[in-house]
Every structure is written in structure tokens, then in C-alpha cells.
Amino acid sequence: MKNKIKVYRAMHDLSQEALANEVGVTRQTILAIENGKYDPSLILAARIARFFKVRIDDVFLLETIDE
Amino acid sequence: MKRNYFYLCVAAVAFFEVAIFWLSVEIADPLPSVIAIIIGILGIYLAKGNIDEVIEDERTQKITEITALRTLQITWIGLFLFALWIIIEALGEGIRRFNRPLGIFGFRLLLLLCGIIVLYVILSLYYNKKYGA
């Protein structure tokens, strides 16, 4: 799954740490999501999207169904 | 409580446990060690609840789940092979020359492994029910 968290963070001038604090996860989790190493749960995806005031599929893009 | 302060508390508890362990060895009584470990676990649990920062989230929980499952699988298979090895060694020279202490140890280990499977099935049923099966 691809995502645009880095883009939205840049638009909001937000560090990984700040976003992590806003959505209640560790900075390492935001880093792992940005690097495509970890796919967030639906709840976390919704929290991130809500924080940026966009829809989930504006931030996350499902390219292939491989699981 | 800050995250680093929590880690300092954990280190302090670890030193405390080691000290009590040596005390137990000196007085040849395991009870202080057992009590200290229970108190230590409770202390860490309470301290963890007072941390202001996030130190655990869904990713760390997933890592813990997968790590625990793999550890259980590897340990179970390793101990099962070890138990079989012991039983074959004990029975190796025939039933009449059965190495009783070694054989009993092997069968007890197998029994323990069966117990782990039973516990796994019970917990699996419980969590299946809890999560909607």
C-alpha cells in the first residue's frame, strides 16, 4: 500500500514526531508507514486522514491485493 | 512520567531483583526472590500506566504478537525433538534395560508440551469467541 503521508506532513509543516503525537503512535510507526514497511490499521489510517482533514483514500492508495 | 524516566525505573527494579536474588541465595530461601519478582512486575506495570508519551502502539503490538508466536513455535518444536531424543536414548537398549530416570524425564517433557497445546487451544477458543467467531 502506498501513501502520501510525507506529502501531507510537508504541506502542514509537521515532523514525524508531531504527527505521531497527534495520532497516538510512536515516531517509528510513522516512519515505517512512510517507508511502506508497515500497513496501518483502518483506525490509524482514519485518524491520520482525519488529522489532515482529507479522506482515507486521499492519503492511502491500495495498489495490489497481495494478502 | 517521561519515557526515559520509566526506563530508569526498569533498570532500578532489575538491580533490586538481582540484590534480592543474592539475598535468597545467601539465606537459602527462594521466597524473597519470588515475592520480589511479583512486586517488580506490579511496579513496572503501574509505572507503565503513568507514562505520558506513547511507547506502545499497534505496530509494536503486532511485532510482539508475531515474535511471541514464533518463539512459542520454535521452542515447542525444539523441546519436542529433545524429548523424543531423550525417550529414544532411554529406550535405546530395549525395554528391559529402560533408563528409567531419563525416560521419565522425556515423558514428563512430552506431557508438558501437550499441556502447552491444551492451553493454546483454550486461549484460542477464548479469543475466537471474544473477537466474534
Please name which of B88, A10, B91, B11 lies closest in space to residue A19, comparing C-alpha atoms. Answer: A10
Q: Is A36 on the interface with B (CB under 8 A)?
A: no
Mutant choice from B58, B64, B131 vs A, greatest count of A C-beta within 10 A: B58
Measured between CA atoms, the residue of chain B closest to residue A33 is B59
Take residue B36 and report the three cell numbers written for it. Answer: 520480589
Does the distance separating the beta carbons of B55 and A25 come in below 8 Å?
no
Please name which of B60, B123, B112 lies closest in space to residue B86, comparing C-alpha atoms. Answer: B112
Domain that holds residue B115: 58-130
Are B72 and B8 contained in the same domain? no
Are B63 and B27 contained in the same domain? no
Indicate whether A65 pLDDT > 70.
no
Take residue B86 and report the three cell numbers written for it. Answer: 531423550
Are B45 and B67 contained in the same domain? no
Predicted complex ipTM:
0.85
CATH number, domain with residue A47? 1.10.260.40
Are B13 and B63 contained in the same domain? no
The verdict on residue A67 lying in a domain is no
Structural domains counted in chain B: 2
Are B35 and B68 contained in the same domain? no
Structural domains counted in chain A: 1
Q: Three-state SS for A60?
A: strand
For B6-34, the pLDDT digits (tens) are 899 999 999 999 999 999 999 999 999 99
Q: State mean pLDDT over B26-53.
A: 91
Measured between CA atoms, the residue of chain B closest to residue A26 is B54
pLDDT for A66: 54
Domain that holds residue A51: 2-61
For A18-53, the pLDDT digits (tens) are 999 999 999 999 999 999 999 999 999 999 999 999
Mutant choice from A16, A19, A21, A25 vs B, greatest count of B C-beta within 10 A: A25
Are B85 and B109 contained in the same domain? yes
